[in-house]
Structure formats: C-alpha cells, structure tokens
Copies of this chain bind each other. A is one copy, B any other.
Amino acid sequence: MTETVPFQTNCQTCPLRRKSVFRSLEDKELDFISDFKTGELTVEAGATIVQEENKSPHLYTILDGWAFRHKALADGRRQVLNFALPGDLVGLQLAVLNEMQHTVTALTDTTLCVFQRDRVWSIFKDYPSLAFSMTWIAAREEQILDGHIISLGQRSALERLAYLILHLYDRAETIGYASNQALDAPFSQSHLSDALGITPVHTSRTLRKLQEKRLISWAKDRIRILDRDALEKLASYESMADECRPLI
C-alpha cells in the first residue's frame, strides 16, 4: 500500500487524519478517540475481519488496506455489498443494531484501529460531534448502496462495470490510493463479478469490451481510466462530491 504503518499509530499523528478530505477535530474529541482506540489489528489478505452472526466486541476503522462487505445466500451464491477503504468504519451495524447480517473480509493485508463496542454509547453521551459523524458515515454508506442498487437494477453489465470502476477510483483517490486516473486494483475479476452480479466469464468479456472501446486499460492488476468523460457518460455516473468528511 502507499505508506508503511508503524506498530502503533497514534491518533494525534495519524497519517490518515492529515489528509485534507477528513474534517479536523477539536482536541477534546481527538483525545477521546485516542483513548477509545484500544489497539490495532493487522490481518492478511483474504482474512475475515467480522463474521456474520459473530458478535465481535469490536468496532473498527480501516487504517490501511482494502476490505469488502459481502453476504451469501443459503446455496452459496455470494454478493459483494460494498468495498471499504481507509477511513471507513467496519462494524457500525453491529455496534448500533447489535446484529450483523454480512461478513467483512480483507482484500489486501489490512491494518485496522480497534475500538470497544461497549463504549460507543459514551460517544453519543459526551461527544455530539462524533455522534453526528457516526450518523453521517451511516448515511453516506446508504448513499453508496443506493448507487449500487440502481446499478444492479437498471444498468447493463458494461454500464455497471464502468460505474464501479469510476466509483472505486474516486473513493481510492480521495485517500491517496489512486491518482492520475490509475488505480492498483487489489481485487480479482471474481471479486468484481460478485459485486456486479455477473459471472466471472462475463466479467472478463465485459472488461475486454471496455478496453476495446479504449475507455480503460487493465494490465497487471492496474486499472487506468483512458477516457473519463466517455466512461462517465456510458455509466451515467454521478460523483459523490463530499469534499470533507468525518474520520473516527
């Protein structure tokens, strides 16, 4: 990944927090978060971070790496619900609903900040701006899911893929995982397939088609957006445009 994370990352000097996308905090809040954080968890690519039905006592923020939320039907069909990047909360549903209906898996080697679920209430009690941030983050996830729903319901495979590439690129760019329309893709075509709701075979063909149209290139797990305007048009892409967001 882009930067090397030391053994323990101090919240006050957190490299993520320095990025301009993230809202700055009062010292009081920062001190609380620093205290709220009880450790770091490092997992290898492919490892499960939170399992459905398993009530982990933790809440996490991704510090470094890619993860994805997914969910399976009884017969094994699997759907990727969303991807998660540094700054994203993992386990919010569990923390507030006390129930988790999906699994979160690391896509790359990933480092997470660990928080204790049983202290979540004190956020609401004593740190209103952090409480607001929690709601903000949940609402933003909702907005992203809305985007995926319209993709799955209405777009063709080609359009869906175009949309997903733009979406992932933009999210990756804000936290420094992509730049110059190039993104190191940590996912296999089968991850894409599970996110798009199409088979791996068709994903391969669809990727090829996007390349033949000279909209993107895909080589050695590096995706490059060659013609952004055309790709956005194809996908009827609308960007999220949150210049500034909270980080817990």
Q: Which residues of A contact B (CB under 8 A)?
A: 69, 71, 73-75, 77-79, 81, 92-93, 96-97, 99, 101-102, 121, 124-125, 128-129, 131-132, 134-136, 138-143, 145-150, 152-155, 194-197, 236, 238, 241-242
Q: A235's closest neighbor in chain B, by CB?
A: B73
Is there an interface contact between A153 and B154, defined as CB atoms closer than 8 Å?
A: no
Asked if A149 and B97 sit within 8 Å, CB to CB, the answer is: no
Copies in the complex: 2
**How far is A69 from B77 in the complex, measured between Cα atoms in Å?**
27
Given contacts A75-B236, A96-B139, A99-B242, 11 further A-B contacts (CB under 8 A): A73-B236, A77-B154, A79-B154, A81-B150, A101-B238, A131-B131, A131-B135, A142-B145, A149-B152, A152-B152, A152-B197
| B124 with A128: CB separation less than 8 A | yes
For A79, the chain B residues whose CB sits under 8 A away are: 149-150, 153-154
Q: In the complex where A102-B146, A128-B131, A142-B145 touch, is A154 in contact with B78 (Cβ < 8 A)? A: yes
